Amino acid sequence: MTDTASGEGRHGALPALLWKIIKIFASVALTFLGLLLVTFLIGRVVPVDPVLAVVGDRASQSVYDRVFIELGLDKPLYEQFWIYLQKILSGDLGTSFLTKKPIVEDIARVFPATLELATVAIIIGTAFGIPLGVLAAVRQGKLSDQIVRVVGLIGYSAPIFWLGLLGLLIFYARLHWVAGPGRIDISYEYAITPRTGLMLWDSAMQGQWDAFRNALSHIILPAALLGYYSLAYISRMTRSFMLAELAQEYIITARVKGVAEWRIIWVHALRNAAVPLVTVIALSYAGLLEGSVLTETVFAWPGLGQYLTNSLQNADMNAVLGGTLVIGAIFVGLNLLSDLLYTLLDPRVRRR
């Protein structure tokens, strides 16, 4: 069986790999096209008149008609989609009515804030969520399992803005353990040159350790909160995946071999549970990258969530659609990444 498989690999390794990459790219391109179609159609069906958004509601009929034609709204829908597609592919998401800047520039400004927050949050959520889930599975039904479950339930159900305000009250206002809202103190804001827009990264790269510490003390509270939220989900899923794995026959084999219990849990079972966990973590991360409106509002965090809410409230359709597109692209990208990791972690899917 494997003889033929490896023989095939030896003769046709490059074409097979190439074929796989082509297949992946084709599916990504197709998904992205569908995404573009959806955002395009949303832009046409929402009751926001794109012409009025440009000319204002006091323009004369002749001005209105001219802009109507300028925007290409007189053309058939498929032609409009084609124009839209060309613009997007050349990196033009249009101009924001609100900030008067290209959407691409706006998103490039707000997205790093969200990316930084989401990344720190998912690291916290994974680093604590997986061990807690494993603990709960191993001590199924015991006190520690119940505690993990309650902690998870609170993380899942407590309103995050409430936890945020409470956290600010305790850790910032009373205890002064962390810095308050915002990404960094004003005194440091111009000390670091924005390269990537990620405060922690930029300050560390430029050796501005005071600024780094300050940015860290700003991010830690919102990141811990969002991390807690994803921890709740990750620990729950870890628990159920681990319970399923621990009931498998190969666990009995390992016990028969006299393998130490910690090794059975952390090497045998977790290594198998990690396969579906990758998807769970990737999707949690994608969710965080959408930008969480409430957290960003409470912590005055200038991220994607705040930007999109603001745009939506002001009927800035170009910005909303541009942001939706970016979020969609992130989802597609992370799905692809988790698929690739899946293949790495599970030898059974490699051949398919």
Residues lying near other proteins in the complex (CB under 8 A):
1-2, 5, 248-250, 252-261, 268, 271-272, 275, 345-348
CB-wise, 98 or 345, nearer to other proteins? 345
The candidate with the shortest Cα–Cα distance to 109, out of 322, 298, 282, is 322
For residues 100 and 348, which CB has a smaller minimum distance to other proteins in the complex?
348
Smaller CB separation from other proteins, 91 or 258: 258
Cβ proximity to other proteins: between 272 and 295 the closer is 272
Tokens describing residue 124: 């916290």
Minimum separation from the CB atom of position 263 to other proteins (A): 8
The minimum distance between CB 179 and other proteins, in angstroms, equals 43
Residue 171's CB is within 10 A of a number of other CB atoms, namely: 18
**With contact defined as beta carbons under 8 Å apart, do 136 and 149 qualify?**
yes
| Beta carbon of residue 317, minimum distance to other proteins (angstroms, whole number) | 48
Q: Measured from the CB of residue 282, what is the shortest distance to other proteins in angstroms?
A: 19
Residue 306 has phi, psi (to 5 degrees) of -65, -45
Outline where the chain has alpha helix (H).
2-45, 50-55, 61-70, 77-89, 103-138, 143-157, 160-167, 186-189, 199-205, 209-246, 249-256, 261-263, 270-289, 293-298, 304-313, 317-345, 347-350
Cβ proximity to other proteins: between 89 and 256 the closer is 256
Closest CB 241 distance from other proteins, rounded Å: 13
Q: How far is CA 190 from the centre of its chain?
A: 28
